[in-house]
Amino acid sequence: MAAILAAGDRSALTGLCGAVLMRLTKREPDEIDVVAPGHRRPQAGFRLRTCRNLDPCDITIVNRIPVTTIPRMLIDLSDDGEDADELANLIHEAAYLKIFSLKATRAAIDRSNGRHNLDVLEEALRLHLSGSAGTRTRLEKRFKRLVRGAGLPTPQTNTIVNGFEVDAYWPGLCVEIDGPNHRRARTKTDDRIRDAALRAAGYTVIRFTEDDVETHPDKILADLIEHL
C-alpha cells in the first residue's frame, strides 16, 4: 500500500503482484509493481509503470488495496514477457475462483489498442477455451520448451482426459511429468490407479521424472517420437 500511496492518485498494484493479491498464483514477484496514469517520476523501492490513461473500469479493490482488474493485469503481464501458458494458468485459476470474465477481457483488449504482445494473451485465451490450464511448474515449462524445440506438435497442458487432469496430452497419448511429490507411497498408488483407468479407456500413458527432464531429454524425445 505504501508504494501505491507514493505513486500518487489513481495508481494501483498490477502484474504478478496483483495476481498474488488475488490468489491466482504463489509465485514470488521480484519487485512491487505499480501502474499510474500520466507522467510520474520513478521512485526507489518499487517499479512504476505509467500509461496515458488508466480507465476506472480497469481498477478494483482487494483487501482495501487498489489493484488492476484481471483483464488489465493479464495485458500488463503479457508486456512483461509472460508466455501464453503462464497466462492461461492465471486465467484457469481466476475461472476456478469465479472471478474471470471473457467478455471483460475482450473489452480490455479492445481498449489496449497498440500494445505489442496482445497476441500472447489471445493465445492464452485460446488455450483456456480449449480446456488447457496452462503450465504450473518449472518442470512442465521445461518439458514444453523441449517439445517445441524438437519441432514436435504442441500438446494441450493440464487438460481433462477421461475424467483425469493430465500434464500433457496429444490425441491418444497422455504424458505425466513427475516431480518430487510423486515419490510418496500414497501418490504412487494414486498414479497407478489413474494410469490403469486411462489405459483401460484406450489411452497410452507415459511418465517422465524430474531427472528425465533435467538430464535425459534425449530419452524423452525418443519416447515421444515413438508414440507420436
Mean pLDDT in residue range 46-53: 85
Q: Is the pLDDT of residue 182 over 80?
A: no
Same domain, 25 and 72: yes
Residue that terminates a domain, selected from 84, 101, 129: 129
Residue 202 has a pLDDT of 97
Q: Is the pLDDT of residue 181 over 80?
A: no
Amino acid at 76: D
Question: Which domain does 95 fall in, by range?
Answer: 2-129
Q: What are phi and psi of 44, to 5 degrees?
A: -70, 145
For residue 57, give the C-alpha cell: 473500469
Same domain, 86 and 33: yes
Q: Is the dihedral of CA 166, 217, 141, 210 positive or negative?
A: positive
Residue 185 has a pLDDT of 80
Least confident interval from 23-27, 77-81, 95-99, 184-188: 184-188
* 211 CB-contact burial (10 Å; exposed 0-12 / middle 13-18 / buried 19+): exposed
CATH number at residue 192: 3.40.960.10
Same domain, 102 and 202: no
Residue that terminates a domain, selected from 129, 152, 175: 129
Q: Which H or E element spans position 197?
A: helix 185-200
For residue 7, give the C-alpha cell: 505513486
This prediction's pTM: 0.74
Same domain, 33 and 91: yes
Residue 166 has a pLDDT of 94
Same domain, 172 and 110: no
Same domain, 167 and 221: yes
Residue 139 has a pLDDT of 85
Alpha-carbon distances of 34 from 58, 127, 163, rounded to whole Å? 13, 28, 40
Same domain, 176 and 117: no
Q: Residue 134 — very low, low, confident or very high, per pLDDT cuts 50/70/90?
A: confident
